[in-house]
Structure 1
Amino acid sequence: MNEMSIQALALLLALAAGMLLGVIFFGGLWWTVRSGMTARQPALWFIGSMILRTGIVTMGLYFLLSLSGNSWKILLGGLFGFILARLLATRVLPAPLSKVSPTAEPSVGISNLYQRGEKEQGTQETQGAQGAQGAQGMRGGQRAEIAERVGHAP
């Protein structure tokens, strides 16, 4: 084998190694999100998974960098494989939370929530003012009787 084919083979192996590292990283992330959301201590799942996945990828890329020859080209091939695995993971794997929790309506935006909150606050203030006026018109015995029925005895 000549030198050119050896370099091409090394780049292909680096690409495959980068893809393997990407599958480990993004597959682990997908699995962590699916299982971590229902865990008793999700913070431990997410932090532990992040440390483990980052450590594995760092060691793998460091190994690629330590190979003899044009190590920067090999490292670049590994990084390209890692990015390629990310693109494949976002296209192939299902959304991790699609079965765990319901999604919010896309039509409800922040401005809609803000306006809804203002309307509810206005109706509460109006009801409170009406209740205060009504309570002033009642005799003390009637107020106490209504409060007992509602469960708010004075």
Structure 2
Amino acid sequence: MTENLMLALAFGAGSLLGMFFFGGLWWTVQKGLQSKRPGLWFFSSMLLRTGITLAGFYWLAADHWPRLLACLLGFVVARFIVVRLTRFESIKLPETVEE
């Protein structure tokens, strides 16, 4: 019972880490495209997001591979959720006439 609870908590924490990582990526792209120094935005965001996510995985797994798998599964599920929530409507471009 306790191990199942820990797996569920690891899945939930992995989902939160994934939402932080991919939501932060979306936010960075939005800010970076408007910035005068986009390289600084992208590089510092990558370091911050990756560092926090890897530290979270390391802490949550605690030398138990099933917890790590549950955390990674939650991370991947969060990716699909963030992509769905941040998807732009497809923009219809005017057709070009080739001569």
Matched, 1:87 2:83: no
Residue 36 of structure 1: SS of its match in structure 2?
helix
* Aligned mates of 2:2, 2:21 — CA distance in 1: 28
Matched, 1:73 2:62: no
TM-score (norm 2): 0.87
* Aligned mates of 1:80, 1:31 — CA distance in 2: 23
* Aligned mates of 1:9, 1:27 — CA distance in 2: 26
Query: Paired residue for 2:5, among 4, 9, 13?
Result: 9
Deviations, residues 34-63 of structure 1 (Å, cap 9, x unaligned) = 111001100000011011101011101111
Deviations, residues 101-141 of structure 1 (Å, cap 9, x unaligned) = xx794866xxx9xxx7xx8xxxxxxxxxxxxxxxxxxxxxx
Question: 1:93 deviation in Å?
Answer: 1.6
- Stretches (4+) displaced over 6 A: none
- Number of aligned residue pairs: give it: 98
Question: 1:66 deviation in Å?
Answer: 1.8
Q: Who is 1:23 aligned against? A: 19
Deviations, residues 55-103 of structure 1 (Å, cap 9, x unaligned) = 0111011112225xxx1000000000000000111111233xx8xxxx7
Q: Who is 1:62 aligned against? A: 58
- Please provide the CA RMSD for this pair: 2.1
Greater relative CO, 1 or 2 (CA 8 Å, sep 6+): 2
* Aligned mates of 2:2, 2:58 — CA distance in 1: 21
**Structure 2 spans left out of the alignment, 5+ residues:** none
TM-score (norm 1): 0.57
* Aligned mates of 1:91, 1:72 — CA distance in 2: 29
Residue 37 of structure 1: SS of its match in structure 2?
helix
Kindly report which structure 2 residues correspond to 1:28-43, keeping only aligned pairs within 5 A, or say none: 28-43=24-39
**Structure 1 spans left out of the alignment, 5+ residues:** 120-154
Larger Rg: 1
